[in-house]
Chain A
Amino acid sequence: GQNIDQPTEMTATEGAIVQINCTYQTSGFNGLFWYQQHAGEAPTFLSYNVLDGLEEKGRFSSFLSRSKGYSYLLLKELQMKDSASYLCAVRDLYNFNKFYFGSGTKLNVKP
């Protein structure tokens, strides 16, 4: 089975830094992905980790520890437009195109 956990909701202030955590227990692992989803829209790709460590991509960074089954997404210099849900997804070990998603973390950015 697949079990992917994220906090339900978080609030942060514009200009600040926020970290969204994700823990997973899956029958197989072939990479962890972070997606952003605005309400009523399709998810868009943010970042990807398959090896342990930090991947930086502009204002967004993602960290992975495979031994701990843990990842986080770090958002810096928060902007109001960053208010969205952030989905953590684990890729299936045997099927590169198959993903299992966490329940998502709704991030509210306030002025």
Chain B
Amino acid sequence: GAVVSQHPSRVICKSGTSVKIECRSLDFQATTMFWYRQFPKQSLMLMATSNEGSKATYEQGVEKDKFLINHASLTLSTLTVTSAHPEDSSFYICSARPGPSSGNTIYFGEGSWLTVV
């Protein structure tokens, strides 16, 4: 079945550095992927829509210069947290949908825990 994979699953970085999280669709092509952030005990918050070959669309309140999204191929989207701060520590999850023939199911990646120290 369709699978979405994220890497790394856990990452610790120092304040001020940048960290990249990858989201891959393993057996389908995804022209659109979505990035969410989830703080402890809170729900998923949609951050941005990643569009293959074009600029990402960011939700209101999300800093596009801080959360860089690159969707360079039909199976890979990356989220780069630039100049990370401790308040960026969170669970980041991506999602993708194989296409209309897959019905209404969307698939989520395993998530990536980011800790900024």
CB of B52 within 8 Å of the partner chain: no
Chain A residues with CB under 8 A of B108: 42-44
Within 8 A of A (CB), among B84-117: 91, 93, 95-97, 100, 104-106, 108-111, 113
Q: Is the CB of B43 within 8 A of A98?
A: no
* Given A41-B111, A42-B93: A100 in contact with B46 (beta carbons within 8 A): yes
Q: Which of A57-111 contact B (CB under 8 A)?
A: 87, 95-104, 106
Interface SS of chain A: loop
Chain A residues 1 to 53 lying within 8 A of chain B, measured CB to CB, are 31, 33, 40-45, 48
Taken together as a complex, chains A and B put the C-alpha atoms of A31 and B108 apart, in Å, by 18
Contacts of A48 in B (CB 8 A): 104
Q: A33-B104, A40-B91, A96-B97 are in contact. Are A101 and B44 (CB under 8 A)?
A: yes
The total of chain B residues at the interface (CB under 8 A) is 24
Known: A42-B110, A42-B111. A101 touches B43 (CB 8 A): yes
Which residues of chain B have C-beta atoms less than 8 A from A101's C-beta? 36, 43-46
Q: Which residue of B lies closest to A43 (CB)?
A: B108
Contacting pair A87 B43 (CB below 8 A): yes
* Contact, CB under 8 Å: A99 / B46: yes
Report how far A49 CA is from B46 CA in the complex, Å: 21
In the assembled complex, the CB of A18 is this many whole angstroms from the nearest CB of chain B, namely 19
Residues of the A chain whose Cβ atoms lie less than 8 Å from the Cβ of B95: 97, 99
Closest 4 CB pairs of A and B: A42-B108, A103-B43, A101-B44, A101-B43
- B positions within 8 Å CB-CB of A: 32, 34, 36, 41-46, 49, 91, 93, 95-97, 100, 104-106, 108-111, 113
Chain A residues in contact with chain B, CB under 8 A? 31, 33, 40-45, 48, 87, 95-104, 106
